[in-house]
């Protein structure tokens, strides 16, 4: 890989305006994605995954805003770019697939036109040329009979087909980074597996990096080379996917791994319960002092309640944010 | 899809009016303005004079046929102007929100507070009579409903997944408004536009009746009514036929609007798909 990483996020802080003041919805968020790499961001609902993604594409809107830190894309800082420059990046060099695949297509526009619009918008193609490229794009996501399908409206397509169209749109301009925020939650399991396989293959062929966001550690670790685990607005652990299963270091990650059903485990056989992490995620306005995981952590000690842990480098590679990590 | 009676009848009446206007030179028996002949003054309807003649001996049938041109031109063009203004203001207000929305809202409320015909009268008084003044006066005074609907639609569509997806894909504001919002609110806008055309035909008649419309001697249904009012008892055919023409055209447009609402309404659409 060449020198500069594709995406570097350093000490990113995201503010939430709650009327009476600002709270940090996320802080100290740092990670790096290389060209063509697959990177996962995992955490419970509300921990700040989607707002981090929105910050990357310059779409945080009031009451949320970037409170500090640096986002570097292809070596250039992009967090302060003008709206027009950010729009040039979006859909062109950084694409995103939505959490809600079922509603992300315009119901009154043929899908081919929606794909073609990307070539017109970002590549300055004529509509004639764009329509031709749209058929190719649809073929590349393995939609059968693409010449006919381009004329279909979204309601004529199944959920899986619609998500393929979304992928075709997202990858149309050959982006360097594809952000997939819970791309398959609305689909059934077999379709989900197909879609993820397709997305991974296409990105691998084209050297497109993936930032995959999900609450499902198992899914993300399957797709991605490295995984970051987020808890209450902070990244608490970042590891290679294999390592995170073999030897999770942060108590929260350990809980997540232990709660995953695994083939052949007693849980999968229906005996015994999945081990769950006791307690609830703290509210954004009410993050605990010190380590935010301390009310739910079995290993918490005095220092955990007062001092926020910094990030430690692990010998085996990776980062962890815990006073007493394994 | 079952064809609805209001759609069929309304559509036919409107189509008929348009055809009559387009084919006026072939349908009319005489020139509507020139062929005055006092020998034939105030003939009642007959095989020769289908709708009778007026006090100058002009053929009422031919004048009604040519009158369709004025009524429909005013109805269609002034409503188009209204639609463009209403959509531009309402769509952008609903999409952008903020101070622009406040401005547009205030303007809409102002327009709604003043009866549009009174407003149009005031404009006509300034511009003077004539076709162009009619188009301007009626085109600038009846966009508030369109604006309301466009704004409400834009507000609710703004949070749709495909609008947000378009933002994420790098669409600019204008492109989002034109490709994502406008096509999805077209149904109700067409309905309102059709109904608005009907009321513009009526307003044209009213303004012409008041002598503010198209200048005589060229016929419009409203000015024909106006000229006929002295002779309503002695020569009732002078008012009946232009009145009927207005009635059928407006009825047709209203039925058509209702019929379109049935098939274009987003709720009935989602029930079908
Ligand atoms: N527009 C907003 N206004 C107020 N708070 C918001 C807004 N968007 C997000 N938040 C808050 O920011 C926090 C992080 O939200 P985010 O959507 O990033 O969560 P997430 O990790 O993506 O969760 P999920 O798995 O449910 O998608 C949450 O506490 C949420 O309530
Ligand atoms: S810092 Fe303390 S409370 Fe936080 S995870 Fe580590 S041990 Fe648990
Ligand atoms: Mg989310």
Residues 6+ away with beta carbon under 8 Å from B27: B20, B65
- Interchain contact, A98 vs B165, CB within 8 Å: yes
What pLDDT digit, counting tens, does each position of A178-234 carry? 999 887 777 788 888 888 999 999 999 999 999 999 988 988 988 999 999 999 999
Q: Is pLDDT above 50 for A264?
A: no
Model confidence band, residue A271 (pLDDT cutoffs 50, 70, 90):
very low
Determine the pLDDT at residue B272. Answer: 44
Locate the domains of chain B by residue range. 44-272
Contact map slice: A 80-99 vs B, CB within 8 A: 87-92, 95-96, 98
Mean pLDDT of A22-37: 94
Ligand 2 neighbourhood includes A31 CB (under 6 angstroms)? no
Q: Using DSSP, state whether B40 is helix, strand or coil.
A: helix
Which chain B residues are Cβ-neighbours of A92 within 8 angstroms?
Answer: 170
Which pLDDT score, from 0 to 100, does residue B2 have?
55
Whose alpha carbon is nearest atom 19 of ligand 1?
A46
Sheet holding A94-97, edge to edge: A94-97, A177-181, A209-214, A38-42, A226-231, A234-240, A319-320, A312-313
pLDDT at position B267 is 54
Interface residue of B157, B170, B186 to substitute, partner A, most A CBs within 10 Å = B170
3-class DSSP state of B29: coil
Listed in order, strand segments (DSSP E) in B79-229 are none
Pocket test for ligand 2, best of A232, A324, A325 (most atoms within 8 A of CB): A324
Cβ atoms of A37 and A209 within 8 Å: the answer is: yes
Locus of tokens 């609450």: A215
pLDDT in tens, A153-175: 999 998 889 999 999 999 999 99
A91, B172: Cβ pair inside 8 Å?
Answer: no
- Residues B30-65 have pLDDT tens digits of 777 666 666 766 777 777 777 777 777 788 888 888
pLDDT, tens digit, 9 for 90 and up, residues A220-254: 988 999 999 999 999 999 999 999 988 899 999 99
At A262 the pLDDT is 63
Spans of all domains in chain A? 7-93+173-320
User: Tokens 């997540």 correspond to what residue?
Assistant: A256
How does pLDDT run across B205-225, given as a tens digit for each residue? 888 888 888 877 788 888 888
CB contact under 8 A, B169 and A109: no
CB-nearest to A87 from B172, B180, B186 is B172
**pLDDT value at position A266?**
47
What residues have a C-beta under 5 A from ligand 3, the ion? A 50
C-alpha B147/C-alpha B90 separation (Å) is 4
Q: Tell me, in angstroms, the distance from the centre of ligand 2 to residue A301's CA.
A: 8
Structure pTM? 0.84
Tell me the count of A-B CB pairs closer than 8 A.
61
Q: Name the residue among B175, B264, B166, B263 with its Cα closest to residue A103.
A: B166
Nearest CA to A162 out of A98, A118, A257, A227 is that of: A98
Task: Say if ligand 2 is within 6 A of residue A309 CB.
Answer: yes
Q: How much is the pLDDT for B115?
A: 87
Mutation to probe ligand 2, out of A249, A294, A310 (largest number of atoms < 8 A from CB): A294
Q: Domain A7-93+173-320: state its class.
A: alpha beta
Q: Rounded distance, CA B4 to CA A258, Å? A: 63
Q: Which candidate, B146, B135, B140, B145, places its Cα nearest to that of B207?
A: B135
CA distances from A127 to A108, A151, A171, B206 (A): 18, 14, 18, 47
pLDDT tens across the length of chain B (273 residues): 456 888 999 999 999 999 988 887 887 777 776 666 667 667 777 777 777 777 777 888 888 888 889 899 999 999 999 999 999 999 999 999 999 999 999 999 999 998 888 888 899 889 988 888 899 999 999 999 999 999 999 999 999 999 999 999 999 999 999 999 999 999 899 999 999 999 999 998 888 888 888 877 788 888 888 887 887 788 788 788 889 999 999 999 999 988 888 777 655 554 444
- Asked whether the CA dihedral A238, A242, A243, A248 is positive or negative, the reply is positive
CA angle A114, A96, A66 (to 5 degrees): 130
Res. A285: pLDDT tops 80 = yes
Could you tell me if the CB of A231 is within 6 A of ligand 2? no
Longest dimension (CA), chain A: 68
Reported as a pLDDT band with limits 50, 70 and 90, residue A99 is low
Ligand closest to the CA atom of residue A283 = 1
Query: Do A306 and A290 meet the contact criterion of CB atoms below 8 Å apart?
Result: yes
pLDDT at A270: 43
CATH of B44-272, one of 1.10.3720.10, 3.40.220.10, 1.10.150.110, 3.10.180.10: 1.10.3720.10
Question: For residue B69, how many C-alpha atoms fall within 13 Å in the half-sphere facing its CB?
Answer: 15
């Amino acid at each position: 890989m060449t020198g500069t990483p594709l995406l570097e996020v350093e000490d990113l802080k995201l503010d939430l305006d709650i009327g009476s003041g600002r709270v940090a919805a996320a802080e100290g968020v740092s990670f790096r994605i290389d060209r063509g790499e697959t990177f996962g961001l995992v955490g419970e609902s509300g921990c700040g995954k989607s707002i981090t993604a929105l910050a990357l594409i310059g779409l945080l809107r009031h009451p949320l805003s970037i409170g500090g830190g640096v986002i570097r894309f292809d070596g250039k800082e992009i967090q302060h770019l003008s709206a027009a420059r950010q729009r040039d990046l979006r859909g062109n060099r950084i694409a995103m697939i939505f959490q809600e695949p079922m509603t992300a297509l315009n119901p009154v526009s043929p899908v081919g036109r929606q794909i073609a619009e990307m070539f017109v918008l970002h590549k300055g193609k004529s509509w004639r040329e764009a329509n031709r490229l749209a058929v190719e794009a649809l073929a590349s996501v393995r939609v059968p009979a693409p010449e006919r399908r381009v004329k279909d409206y979204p309601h004529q397509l199944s959920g899986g087909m619609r998500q393929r169209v979304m992928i075709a749109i997202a990858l149309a301009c050959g982006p360097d980074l594809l952000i997939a925020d819970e791309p398959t939650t609305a689909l059934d399991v077999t379709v989900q597996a197909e879609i993820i396989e397709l997305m991974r293959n296409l990105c691998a062929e084209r050297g497109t990096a993936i930032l995959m966001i999900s609450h499902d550690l198992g899914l993300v670790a399957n797709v991605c080379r490295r995984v970051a685990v987020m808890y209450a607005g902070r990244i608490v652990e970042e590891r290679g996917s294999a390592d995170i299963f073999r030897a999770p270091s942060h108590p929260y990650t350990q809980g997540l791994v232990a709660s995953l059903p695994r083939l052949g485990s007693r849980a999968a056989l229906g005996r015994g319960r999945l081990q769950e992490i006791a307690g609830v995620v703290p509210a954004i306005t009410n993050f605990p002092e010190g380590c935010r995981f301390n009310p739910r952590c079995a290993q918490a000690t005095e220092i955990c309640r007062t001092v926020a842990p910094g990030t430690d480098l692990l010998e085996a590679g990776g980062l962890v944010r815990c006073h007493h990590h394994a | 899809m079952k064809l609805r009676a209001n759609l069929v009848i309304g559509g036919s009446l409107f189509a008929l009016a348009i055809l009559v206007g387009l084919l006026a030179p072939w349908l009319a028996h005489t020139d509507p303005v020139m062929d005055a002949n006092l020998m034939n003054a105030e003939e009642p309807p007959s095989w020769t004079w289908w709708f009778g003649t007026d006090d100058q001996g002009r053929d009422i049938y031919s004048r009604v046929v040519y009158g369709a041109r004025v009524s429909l031109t005013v109805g269609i063009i002034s409503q188009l102007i209204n639609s463009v203004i209403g959509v531009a203001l309402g769509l952008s207000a609903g999409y952008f929100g903020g101070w622009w929305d406040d401005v547009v809202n205030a303007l809409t409320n102002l327009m709604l507070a003043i009866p549009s015909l009174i407003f149009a009268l005031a404009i006509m008084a300034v511009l003077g009579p004539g076709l162009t003044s009619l188009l301007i006066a009626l085109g600038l005074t009846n966009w508030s409903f369109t604006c309301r609907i466009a704004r409400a639609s834009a507000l609710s569509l703004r949070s749709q997944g495909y609008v947000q997806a378009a933002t994420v894909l790098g669409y600019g504001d204008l492109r989002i408004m034109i490709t994502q919002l406008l096509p999805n609110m077209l149904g109700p806008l067409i309905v309102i536009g059709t109904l608005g055309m009907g009321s513009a035909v009526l307003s044209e008649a009213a303004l012409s009746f008041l002598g503010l419309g198209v200048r005589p001697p060229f016929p419009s249904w409203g000015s024909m009514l106006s000229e006929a009012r002295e002779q309503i008892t002695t020569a009732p055919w002078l008012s009946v036929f232009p009145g009927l023409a207005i009635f059928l055209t407006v009825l047709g447009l209203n039925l058509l609007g209702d019929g379109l609402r049935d098939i274009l309404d987003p709720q009935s659409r989602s029930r079908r798909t």
